[in-house]
Structure 1
Amino acid sequence: MLLLALDTATPAVTVALHDGETVVAESSQVDARRHGELLLPTVDRVLAEAGRKIDAVTAVVTGVGPGPYTGLRVGLMTAETFGSALGIPVYGLCTLDALAYAADVDGPFVVATDARRKEVYWARYDGPRSRSSEPAVDRPAEIADVVAGLPAVGAGALLYPDTFPDPRGPEHVSAAALASLTVEKLAAGEELPAPRPLYLRRPDAQVPKNYKVVTPK
């Protein structure tokens, strides 16, 4: 196995290679506005570090969010393109799950990422591999009672200390964690979902309403 993992659902552009036993190369950059510019060079860098060619990859996994529309679709489309060109399977995993998997927290906790618009994408976890609620998008004050007393992982927790007074690392998702979680799930015989995006809300760009009708004279 040579699994290519990537995620662009958060400000982190992150890529890793996993050979079925361990992560053999990884690279991440944090830049919320350059996902499309950074992703393919990062893939090239990771392949070069591992001494592998792209045609050696046997499967791809991509984080499916939740995340902003523009950044998220960069990773999804890149993963689908690799899968189609190489004739290999493409899997999708929740980005919040990858953050939870990398968390060093005992007991229940929350993962929260920045959803902009003064909101967070979030979910509750009973442990690193056990999500206990569906991913959601809310204003932090609206979920304060639900997450009260729980440690919180992710950049969203750092942004809203009144709601998340016990922030923990990591701040951003890592493709290394995404890859390792995928390998564990495959080894356990779990069926992984297709790479379908978790947007949770409409994109910022909207079709204008109430067009001014112009008729020929």
Structure 2
Amino acid sequence: MIVLGIDTATSLVSVAVADGRDVLAASESRSDRRHAEDLTPMVEFVVKRAKLTLAEIEAIAVNVGPGLFTGMRVGIATAQALAQVLGVRLVGIDGLTALAASVPAAALGECDVVVPTIDTRRREVAWSLHRVGDDGTTTSVAPPRVGSLADLVLAVRERGQNCRLIGEFARRNAEEIREAVGAQAWCVTFGDESLDFPHARAITQLAIDKLLEDYSHD
């Protein structure tokens, strides 16, 4: 199944095309205010680089947030238009889940829980909790939440497990989070810049999982 993934929910705009588990092509651009201008050329570039045409795309996947309102609106509107024109399925993917799924198994270390964070730009942060399996895959164990940095710290402390916080927000506020966690700071580690934002590569893979599950129930 060939899936086109779109992510404009953060300041990293990304597009990817995957054929099953093989990501054929991907592109990304840091773009705080140019989501609309960047997206269409990126879609055209990625499809061409994958040696495909839009007519060969079988599903469209898009990050539906949380994130930047204007960016999400651009991505969702573009994905809806493409899906309608091509007559294919449209799959919405939670950005926090996509960010958690982006963590390579080798980067998890001994952590028990991955905590993806996304800055909502309203003096608040969105986060969720994902258990790390023996095979390195992550499974959601708590629904997404939006709150202050203090609320995030409380959620980590209440979890009482080794937590790997990822996302630009967590990395930028790492020192403050460590101080606020206090005596439990030993159980908190942080991802590097490569895990600052969700990416369309992960969006395509999660969409394929969702589509295969839907087909298995038909």
- TM normalised by structure 2 equals 0.81
Asked if 2 retains the 8 angstrom alpha-carbon contact of 1:22 and 1:180, the reply is no
Instruction: Give the total of aligned pairs.
Output: 190
What is residue 165 of structure 2 aligned with on the other side? 152
Residues 94-173 of structure 1 mapped to structure 2, 5 A cutoff? 94-104=94-104, 105=108, 106-127=111-132, 128-148=137-157, 150-161=163-174, 162-163=176-177, 166-169=189-192, 170-173=195-198
Q: Distance in 2 between matches of 1:137 and 1:10?
A: 16
Paired residue for 1:85? Answer: 85
Gaps of 5+ in 1: 192-217
**Alignment partners' CA distance in 2, 1:47 and 1:111:** 29
SS at 2:130 equivalent? strand
Determine the C-alpha separation between the residues in 1 that align with 2:142 and 2:155: 11
More helix by share: 2
For 1:172 and 1:142, how far apart are their aligned partners in 2?
Answer: 21
**CA positional deviation for 1:138:** 1.0
Alpha-carbon distance in 1 for matches of 2:138, 2:73? 25
CA distance in structure 2 between the aligned counterparts of 1:67 and 1:117, rounded to whole angstroms? 10
Alignment deviations for residues 24-44 of structure 1 (CA, whole Å, 9 cap, x no partner): 000111112111111111101
Seq. identity, %: 32
Q: CA-atom RMSD, angstroms? A: 1.7
Q: Deviations over 1:181-200 (max 9, x none)?
A: 2223333x248xxxxxxxxx
**Deviating 4+ runs (over 4 angstroms):** none
SS in 2 for 1:163: helix
1:7-65 per-residue CA deviation (whole Å, 9 max, x = no partner) reads 11111111000112410000111112111111111101101111111111111010110
What amino acid sits opposite 1:166 in the alignment? T
Structure 2 counterpart of 1:129, one-letter code: T
Amino acid of the structure 2 residue aligned with 1:76: I
SS at match of 1:25: strand
User: What letter matches 2:156 in structure 1?
Assistant: V
Higher Rg of the two aligned structures: 1
Indicate if the aligned counterparts of 1:17 and 1:179 stay in contact, CA closer than 8 A.
yes
Deviations 1:65-122 (A, max 9, x none): 0112111011100000001111111010101111100113242121101111332111
- SS of the residue 1:147 aligns to: helix
In structure 2, runs of 5+ residues without a counterpart are: 179-187
